[in-house]
Amino acid sequence: MGAATRYRKKFLSEHPKCAFCGGNADAKTIEHCPPRAMFQFREWPEGFEFPACENCNLGTDNEDLLVAMLARIDPFEEKGDKDGKQVGLMRAVNKQFPGLFEKMMPTASEARRQNRELGITPKDGRTHQEAGPLKVPEEFHRAVCIFARKLAKGIFYREAGFSFPNDGCLLLNWFTNADFMRDGKYTVFDLLKELSGDAPPLLRGGKFLNDQFEYKLSISPNKNVFVVQARFGNAFGFAVFGSTTPGTLETSIERLREQSQRDGPFAVLQSLTLGEARGKPSGAETSLEEIRQGCRVRQPPV
Ligand SMILES: [Zn+2]
């Protein structure tokens, strides 16, 4: 038995249940979340591996690929491709999502308008399309939803020591560096900045990785309500609001829906009563497919 096998057996004996689907399924694999490909030089943070059943581990490969590529987009410091892996990631994305890159490219007039709004003047010899932000097609929204749900559950598992329940509720608000360019800040982080929480250093071999991924967790003492604020380099960030008690967060969303006929700035990642999960029996899990169809992020594409 090799060292990797021994390590896996030991890890899974200490963590016998899947962290991502409510803690009922037996964990058979170790899942890295965030995905390893997101990190430069294959240096991902220690302690971000989780027990997962095969469905939860293997079911998100394409989304992992997309968020890994997205997280490396760095228009400010151009640190996203220090290890030269970006082209390979893009090739893999192009294979799994044919036509996606065309959808990301704004038309010349869209780019001109956007750059005017953002105050971007293309440098000499660059077109507006080359200088401005890329569009974020629906595929990214879905991928970020699936990734955020997984990461929030992983961080919850680390903190609480048990799997996030299937009847709990998770809501997401996410944003990209285009929002940062427009507003000079990430509005959601700004709104939440007074919230106390723990923002741990993320390390591998003593090396800080917070420039690629960092988060702050605010969680109630009895661990039934939490907020994860996460940021991925200079590319994107999100806040996930979670409650293990069914109905707590749903009430706010239902109020928003009544007032405005929409969900506000939230995507429903998991809920027994909201969105695609409506009417499901208690304890039923929102499937990946439901998230893929039901994830509706209310924000304009950038
Ligand atoms: Zn699972």
- Flag whether 235 is in a domain: yes
> What does the alpha-carbon distance between residue 297 and residue 181 come to, in Å, rounded to a whole number?
20
**60 CA → ligand 1 middle, Å:** 11
Q: What is the largest CA-CA distance in the chain?
A: 61
Q: What's residue 255's pLDDT?
A: 76
Q: How many domains does the chain have?
A: 1
Range of the domain at 209: 3-61+138-294
**183 CA → ligand 1 middle, Å:** 38
**244 CA → ligand 1 middle, Å:** 17
- Flag whether 15 is in a domain: yes
Contact at 8 Å (CB) between 254 and 152?
no
**What SS3 class is residue 137?**
coil
The yes-or-no verdict on residue 167 having pLDDT over 70 is: yes
Contacts of 43 (CB under 8 A, 6+ apart): 204, 205, 207, 209
**58 CA → ligand 1 middle, Å:** 10
The helix or strand, by DSSP H or E, that contains position 175, with its residue range, turns out to be: strand 169-176
- Flag whether 241 is in a domain: yes
User: How many angstroms separate the Cα of 85 from the Cα of each of 52, 89, 94, 105, 273?
Assistant: 27, 6, 14, 21, 41
pLDDT tens digit sequence for 251-272: 877 777 777 655 567 888 998 8
The helix or strand, by DSSP H or E, that contains position 155, with its residue range, turns out to be: helix 138-160
- Flag whether 71 is in a domain: no
φ/ψ of residue 165, rounded to 5:
-70, 155
Tell me the pLDDT band of 277, cut-offs 50, 70 and 90.
Answer: very low
Contact at 8 Å (CB) between 242 and 152?
yes
The yes-or-no verdict on residue 91 having pLDDT over 80 is: yes
> What does the alpha-carbon distance between residue 269 and residue 173 come to, in Å, rounded to a whole number?
10
> What does the alpha-carbon distance between residue 20 and residue 33 come to, in Å, rounded to a whole number?
11
pLDDT tens digit sequence for 202-218: 999 999 999 999 999 99
**180 CA → ligand 1 middle, Å:** 34
